[in-house]
Amino acid sequence: MQGEPAAPAVPVVTQKDFQSVPLSAAEVHVWPDGWGVAGKRTAFWTDDTTQTKTLTMLGQEVTVEAVPVSWRWDFGDGTVKWTHSPWRKPVSLERAGFYHVYSEAEHVKVTVTVKYEGRFRVGNGPWTDIEGTAEKTSPPRDVTIYRYEKYVVGEHCKKQNCLDENRANR
């Protein structure tokens, strides 16, 4: 009817809106903590956290829920792997479900990019799926990969501790 106020516009969260939601970055966990050995397993995992953010759109409160669905690991040596699990800290390196084996000693920066699917609701209304996905990349985690060396020493060196001298003379 004439003279009645128009109904307020109902916000819709688009993929572009979803991609601009300030999601928290995942944290890269590594075991051993911050290092590994070339040719051996280095285990990785991150958190599996659904994030909820409250925004104001068109003057209305909108709740956005972001659910992690996949993880893209960049191991810093040119190797990238996608997983559908964030994994967990393993009981031992031999039993690690998710790991990487570096081929050489080096310093690397490891990142994980989490892909999220989302949904939203206006006020206490019903949830609506958001078309498309959003991604958030972690800050790089510094990892040092060492070369494992075995030394065979004679009885003299065992008694005199000349292993350190041999390393210094290289």
- Run of H or E residues at 113: strand 106-122
The whole-number pLDDT of residue 86 equals 94
The whole-number pLDDT of residue 139 equals 98
Distance between CA 3 and CA 7 in Å, rounded? 12
The whole-number pLDDT of residue 159 equals 63
pLDDT, one tens digit per residue, over 97-109 is 999 999 999 999 9
pLDDT, one tens digit per residue, over 12-38 is 999 999 999 999 999 999 999 999 999
Q: Please name the residue that has the structure tokens 């060396």.
A: 149
- The one-letter code for the residue type at 82 is W
Closest CA to 100 of 119, 83, 117, 114: 83
Domains identified in the chain and CATH numbers: 15-168 (2.60.40.10)
The whole-number pLDDT of residue 140 equals 98
Residue 41's pLDDT band, with cuts at 50, 70 and 90, is: very high
CB 26 within 8 A of CB 138: yes
pLDDT, one tens digit per residue, over 56-88 is 999 999 999 999 999 999 999 999 999 999 999
Q: Mean pLDDT across the stretch 122-126?
A: 96
The whole-number pLDDT of residue 169 equals 42
Q: Which is it for the CA torsion 76, 142, 87, 96, positive or negative? A: positive
CB 99 within 8 A of CB 93: yes
Query: How would you classify the pairing of strands 141-146 and 35-37?
Result: parallel
pLDDT, one tens digit per residue, over 125-170 is 999 999 999 999 999 999 999 998 776 666 666 566 654 544 444 4
- The one-letter code for the residue type at 169 is N
What are the helix (H) ranges across 1-60? 15-19
pTM: 0.82
Distance between CA 5 and CA 63 in Å, rounded? 26
